[in-house]
Structure 1
């Protein structure tokens, strides 16, 4: 049973939702992305969204890949030296919206609190670049970062992935590929209200089709835009819950919101990992909505969740095993 949604949280989440164009109604997705940036600069946006932590310094770098170059923001904790553990963070936005700056509050807080460097790369967005473009970009960016660990001042033996919503999907896929394809060895994964199943409607979505921030219609629209002609595929690169095996995956921290149609995505992924013997920490935050980690101004649990992530990263990534 979900805890009641605090009135302040519900009010601001509803206001922000109404100010934004529903993704299922958008015809110009570049305009939709620009609108999202402007929304964060409005009075409600400034009151709601988190700001970067000054205890971490940010630096923009470029990640040159074959035929394209990705942007990335590197958040380094101040006051520490030597090669740092690294968390590669993938932003959310339904694979259609979002930038590395979107998760600067989370990334900088994790860097400042844990002592790890957090790198947030961009990736190509749909519908201009449908699946598997985002999967390819995030996977190749992870490999590029690992290959240049010395130049970036990173300890490659202490590497993790993190992501929220669509970014949680991409982080889960990257963790699976790291095992299946012998890629960078990861010591942890942080999956924040992850979208791990693209087609099946779980009980939480049926029970909460019209929640503030994310609705069932939104979810369907994002899935169609992301997958394009591949919609209907059973490929676990799209739906990591459909992987043939979860054996050998790195320890996970899965965070979910109780007023989120994606809630059961996280629950089912936890169960799949546990059946495979993967250590899992799981926490469902009461009185929260999808995206609440980006809403510290109106969701008090955002601070608790970030503190929990910092503790997990410090224990699983920063402290040598």
Structure 2
């Protein structure tokens, strides 16, 4: 049985629904992003979305790629020396919204708790830059980070990826490409309520069309904006669940929320990985909405989930078995 949503989460979802323009109604996506940034930087926004952990120090770098430059936010754990293990983290936002700052609470908590450096690169957003721009950016950023590990103070032999929602999609794709295309040898992938299927609708989406934070209408709008002319594609670079093979992928920790239409995306990806013999840890969090790990101020379960991620990263990346 699905757990009831905490009252704080219900109130926040109601207020957010009145303040924020739904993505399916937006005509100016740059303005919609600015609206979210302003909300996050208000006192109430900081209380809801959290603030970076002071046990990790942050710095911004630039990642020069062919024809473009990405920014990346680095969270380094304080009080530890030597070359650090690294988690490359891709933010969520439906491929349309979001930034590395959006996941600073999560990334800094993982860095401070696990002892790994967490790097969150930006990527080009739709609809200005539709698929496969985000896929190309995140893949090339991952490789750039691995290639520059020495100067960044990183241990390239202890590297993993992490992402939430759209970022979970991009992390899963990057993990697959690392195997198929000979990229960095990843030790783990942390996939937080990932969107891994862009073509087929699963039962959870049909069963929960009007959940807080992410509705079925939102999902459809994000998919159309992200894929553009490629909408309807079954390309595994868009839908990693459609990969030809899941063999040799790194172990995964898949987190889902029970009030999330994307719930079954995580379940089906878990099953696909397990059938291929990939080690998977799976956890569904009760009384949680999509995006709950970005809402620590109103979603108590966010703190439990980030502790679970810290433990997983510490065991599988920082001190691999």
Give the TM-score of the pair, scaled to structure 2: 0.99
The answer as to 2:9 corresponding to 1:9 is yes
**Which residue pairs with 2:180 in the alignment?**
180
8 A Cα contact 2:199 2:234, kept in partner = no
Partner residue in 2 for 1:265: 265
Contact 1:2 1:287 in 2 (8 A): yes
Partner of 1:21: 21
Q: Offset at 1:43?
A: 4.9
Identify unmatched segments of 5+ residues in structure 1: none
The answer to whether structure 1 residue 110 and structure 2 residue 110 are counterparts is: yes
Report if the CA contact (8 A) 1:86-1:118 is conserved: yes
Q: Distance in 1 between matches of 2:296 and 2:156?
A: 32
CA distance, structure 2, for counterparts of residue 106 and residue 288 of structure 1? 16
The Cα shift of 1:6 comes to: 1.5
- Tell me, yes or no, if the aligned pair for 1:91 and 1:98 is still in contact at 8 Å: yes
Q: Provide Cα deviations, 1:99-118, integer angstroms capped at 9, x if missing partner.
A: 10100000000000000000
Structure-1 separation of matches of 2:156 and 2:46? 37
Deviations along 1:16-59, whole A, 9 cap, x unmatched?
A: 13211000000011001001111213454233111100000001
CA–CA distance in structure 1, aligned partners of residues 277 and 15 of structure 2: 42
Q: Alignment partner of 2:150: what SS?
A: helix
Alpha-carbon distance in 1 for matches of 2:18, 2:241: 32
Cα-to-partner distance string for 1:101-148 (whole Å, 9 max, x where unaligned):
100000000000000000000000000000000000000000000001
The alpha carbon displacement at 1:175 in A equals: 0.2
CA distance in 2, matches of 1:211, 1:44: 22
Q: TM-score, normalised on structure 1?
A: 0.99
Q: Summarize the alignment of residues 35-54 of structure 1 with structure 2, pairs less than 5 Å apart.
A: 35-54=35-54
Task: Report 1:1-321 matches (<5 A).
Answer: 1-321=1-321
The whole-number CA distance in structure 2 between the counterparts of 1:89 and 1:18 is 30
Instruction: Find the residue that maps to 1:142 and give its secondary structure.
Output: helix
How many residues are treated as equivalent by the alignment? 321
Q: 1:74, CA displacement in angstroms?
A: 0.6
Check conservation: 1:12, 1:44, Cα contact below 8 A. Answer: no
